Structure 1
Amino acid sequence: MPEAIWISFAFVVGLLVKGIGLPPLVGYLAAGFVLSFLSATTAITAEPTEVLAHIAHLGVLLLLFTVGLKLKLRSIVSPEVIGGSLLHFAITCVVFAPGLYLLFDLDWVTALMLAIALSFSSTVLVAKVLESKRELRAFHGRVAIGILIMQDLIALVVMSLAAGKTPSEWAIIVFGLPLLRPLLYKLLDASGHDELLVLLGLLLALVIGGLGFEAVGLSSELGALVFGAMLANHPRSQELAKSLWSIKEVFLVGFFLQIGIDGLPDQKALTFAVIAALLLPLKGILFYFLLLGFRLRARSSFLTSLSLTNYSEFGLIVASVALPQWLVPLAITVSLSFVFSAPLNRFAHSIYERVAHKIGKFESHKRHPDEQPISLGDTRVLIMGMGRTGTAAYDRLVSNDFRIMGLDSDPAKAEKHQKEGRNVVFADAEDTTFWEGLHMPELNSVVLAMSDIEGKLIATRMLRKLGFSGYIVAHTMYEDEATKIREAGANDAYLTMNETGVALASHLMDKSGLQEEQVRNPV
């Protein structure tokens, strides 16, 4: 079976590429081109097969399903996300389409479709980069993901129009799909945390969503996205997305491998890719000034725009439907953009510190509501991270009349707590500008209840750097992380599960009416 050999070869090349700090996707495309070259110059046969095409299609459906799982209205309903993505898309098309039309002697439809393909940024690359830096929930991370979701929706609309499919009379049943949401929620709850959860995701994405929509004359890609979106508000939607992540990545190997095997690039393809790569900085600059126009600070605008300065695998998916003859040039373009973008994003914060004095002058004096400077006023106890642990600590302390404030890097979560009567405001512990403007004249104690270790370490170091000498306590799941937190300057770092056991024992002592001596020596 040649597909097994090809995928094994793609794994080896992807591993080598990852070793030099580039996304494995670049290696998969390179593996396809190598196989195509060997097929053209030796007796080795490497041509796209029906099996590989099927694997590639499954990868695209799973990608769209996981995008749908992240499709929460609150993540995209903001001026900077909607306005920034739509304006960037429109300006890119208006500028790129005429240039491509004149430079490559294309017809207007092809030039416009290429401009559309180049307007998108990579969901896979950006998500991986932000996740590796633990910045998915930071303000700039949420803005970037919101813009990517908007771009994915635009891409889906373009694909549906380009496919030119005529829905059957049964397509009207799609409008009744929201009625199935309670049933889907029950299935997700009942599927547990193991293989049934994965199988449910595959069933919804590939069978009910993919084949189901095709059966009524609609796009299978649309079906996968819709069924993902129907589960987006379920508490376990992200668990489902994570369980499918590796399977999706494996199937997408087939998609990128197929592009490379499909043919070697000619001079025109290489010229197109080089020119598009040279224009890539303009993409980031446009994002930067658009986000500044929506009153984001220079730092957030820079970090968001830098993460989006790349071309997208979604451009390839659009091209596979609308411009199959341009797949190879676009594949090389995407690869070059990854080579440029991946290393820069690893050093995004240090790069900003070097250029802040030059680009910060364009910042608006009117601040974005999510980025107002923070003053703690007469707060005595500060809780950073208002998830379940932080909320429990807040409620326990506020019942004893402590002057207390909670901070969280998720604006929606901060707003929810405010509506429930808690004194919680938005702040990102990993934002150095936040610490520079922080006033804490009466602060006595700090509870670090964020979910990630980096946030706890940064908060601890910055508090000590600012001269805070009060008590800092944190929780964590692992002993080695607790050691790091103490070394950073915290007074104590407790293991979450250990403290849960202690709390349960305390409840037993308090609620059962038994005294410690009675428990030790029962009558």
Structure 2
Amino acid sequence: MPEAIWITFAFGLGLLVKLVGLPPLVGYLAAGFVLSGIAEATGVVIEETDVLQHIAHLGVLLLLFTVGLKLKLRSIVSPEVIGGSLLHFGITCAVFTPGLYLLMDIGWSTAFMLAIALSFSSTVLAAKVLESKRELRAFHGRVAIGILIMQDLIALVVMSLAAGKTPSEWALIVFGLPLLRPLLFRLLDASGHDELLVLLGLLLALVVGGLGFEAVGLSSELGALVFGAMLANHPRSQELAKSLWSVKEVFLVGFFLQIGIGGLPDQEAIMFAVIAALVLPLKGILFFFLLILFRLRSRSSFLSALSLTNYSEFGLIVASVALPEWLVPLAITVSLSFVISAPLNRFAHPLFERISHRLGTFESHKRHPDEQPISLANTRFLVMGMGRTGTAAYDWLKESEQNLMGLDSDPAKVEKHQKAGRNAVFADAEDTTFWEGLHMPSVEAVILAMSDIEGKLIAARMLRKLGFKGYIVAHTLYADEAKQICEAGADDTYLTMSETGVALASHLLDKKPATPSLTVKKSV
């Protein structure tokens, strides 16, 4: 069975690239290309089956649905998202179109459509990278996802115009979807915590969102994203996202395999992909300066721009409608951009640390409202990361300490804590520029409760670099990470599961349950 061979290659190369510090998706891409190379060398024909295409499509839909679950639509409707995406699209088309026309010896219409295809960034890659680093709800993550959504909408418009088709009149029903939100909330409440919850996610992402939007002439990807976003404000939206995680990951393997199995390119296609890869940095540079123009700080602009520095699978979809003869060159271009972009995003934070002093010179004196500096003047204890662990630590300290502050990079989470009466503010503890010039004379201890290891390492390192002599404590799941955090500057690091076991045992001793008497009932 070809599927068994594909799975074997995908696992083997995925594991190999993971061992060298790259995302497994790079291995999945490589597996597809290796299979294509073997097929060409041996004369064996390897074709994409309907099963692989279907799995790949389902993986993309589930990814976009889970992205929607973590989105707040009000954060998308912002000047930097709308203005940044439209300006980038316009400038890219204005520069790439004449360049392609002169260099490739093609017609103006073909050059224009190629420029459009190259202007988009990958929703799949950017969302997966941001999700793996748990930065989807960080400020720079929300900006990047918002721009990607705008690009997807532009792509849908271009595809409709290129195909000479318009959505069905039934597409107007989409504007009434918000009326279904109470019903969707009740369904989510009634689904429990087991298999019904997973089936509800599949139903909304693949059937109602995917097939439903296709039936009225709209994109199935947009439908999955919209239905995910409609549930984003539900308290159990993150539980639904976690329940779909494994299914989504398996299906996404098919998507990346599909790109590679498409076949090895000829010399002209390779030259096109190489040239496009060489100009790829210009795409990120343009995003960086456009976001700086909208008063974002250099760190947010850099991280958002880096996650958008790639070419998009939506470009392939546009090409399949308008330029089918350019599918292979564009597929290689997209794949090559994935190979370049994925490892760069893996080291995005350390990379910014190295060049932050240079990028900071481009910042505007006026700051974006979401990036205003905060004051720690009277704070004695600081909790970085207000998830479940950070919130529990905050609430325990609050019983005896009033000069307490919590930081989190998720504005929605911060708003929730503020309504609950906690002294929480929006700030990204991983932001190296956050620490520059920070005056915290009263801080005595810091709890590092962020979810990712990179954030804890950066925070511990920056605290010690600024001369902080107080106590730093962190939690982690793994012993090797605990060692890294202590080496970065933390005084103590506790293993979460071990501490949970100790806490359970202490509760048992505190309760001191009486030994139950054993009554034996004699049978007559």
Q: TM-score range by the shorter chain?
A: 0.7 to 0.9
Report the counterpart of residue 275 of structure 1 in structure 2: 275
SS of 1:93's partner is helix
> 2-side partners of 1:503 and 1:449: how far apart?
22
The residue correspondences of 1:29-108 to structure 2 (distance < 5 A) are 29-36=29-36, 42-108=42-108
Q: In the TM superposition, what whole-angstrom CA distance separates every residue of 1:278-314 from its partner, at most 9, and x where no partner exists?
A: 1111111111211211222223322332232222233
CA contact (8 A) 1:48 1:261 kept: yes
Distance 1:209 1:378, change over 3 A: closer
Which secondary structure state, in structure 1, belongs to the residue aligned with residue 244 of structure 2?
Answer: helix
CA distance in 2 between partners of 1:196 and 1:176 (Å): 26
Q: Tell me the distance in 2 between the aligned counterparts of 1:393 and 1:34.
A: 50
Give the match for residue 435 of structure 2. Answer: 435
What is the aligned partner in structure 1 of residue 122 from structure 2? 122
1:293 paired residue number: 293
CA distance in 2, matches of 1:345, 1:277: 16
Partner of 1:497: 500
2:522 maps to what in 1?
A: none
Residue deviations 1:45-101, cap 9 Å, x none?
323444443333333433433343344214423332332222212211221122223
Structure 1: distance between partners of 2:108 and 2:515 = 89
Cα contact 1:140–1:301 (8 A) shared by 2? yes
Q: Using the alignment, how far apart are the partners of 2:468 and 2:295 within structure 1? A: 31
CA distance in 2, matches of 1:343, 1:141: 17
- Segments of 5+ residues of structure 2 without an aligned counterpart are 517-524
Amino acid aligned to 1:489: A
Residues 58, 251 of structure 2: 8 Å contact kept: yes
Matches of 2:506 and 2:69, distance apart in 1: 35
Distance in 2 of aligned mates of 1:308 and 1:237: 26
Matched position secondary structure for 1:438: coil
Residue 388 (structure 1) shift: 4.8
TM-score, reference length from structure 2: 0.82
Counterpart amino acid of residue 147 in structure 2: I
Give 1:331 deviation, angstroms. Answer: 1.5
The secondary structure found in structure 2 opposite 1:405 is strand
1:375 aligned counterpart, secondary structure:
coil
> Could you tell me which amino acid in structure 1 is paired with residue 310 of structure 2?
N
Alpha-carbon spacing, 1:504–1:97, altered in 2? closer, same or farther (3 Å): farther
Q: Is the 8 A contact 1:486 1:493 kept in 2?
A: no
Q: Comparing 191-200 with 328-337, which one deviates more in the overlay? A: 191-200
Superimposed CA distance per residue, residues 479-500 of structure 1 (whole angstroms, 9 cap, x where no aligned partner): 7767776774346858563576
Q: Is the 8 A contact 2:37 2:264 kept in 1?
A: yes
TM-score normalised to structure 1 length: 0.82
**Equivalent residues in 2 for 1:55-454 (5 A)?**
55-133=55-133, 135-165=135-165, 167=167, 170-391=170-391, 394=394, 402-418=402-418, 422-454=422-454
Q: Deviations over 1:229-251 (max 9, x none)?
A: 32222233334334434434443
Structure 1's 180 and 140: CA in aligned 2 closer, same or farther, altered over 3 A? closer
Aligned AA (1:187): L
Deviation at residue 332 of structure 1 after TM alignment: 1.1
One-letter amino acid matched to 1:325: E
Tell me the percent identity: 80
**Distance change in 2, residues 1:454/1:137 (3 Å):** farther
In 2, Cα distance between equivalents of 1:46 and 1:502: 58
Structure 2 distance, partners of 1:130, 1:145, is 9
Matched residues, number = 514
- The answer as to whether partners of 2:73 and 2:229 remain within 8 angstroms in 1 is no
Give, as a single letter, the amino acid of the residue that structure 1 aligns with 2:308.
L
1:427/1:396 CA distance change after superposition, 3 Å? same
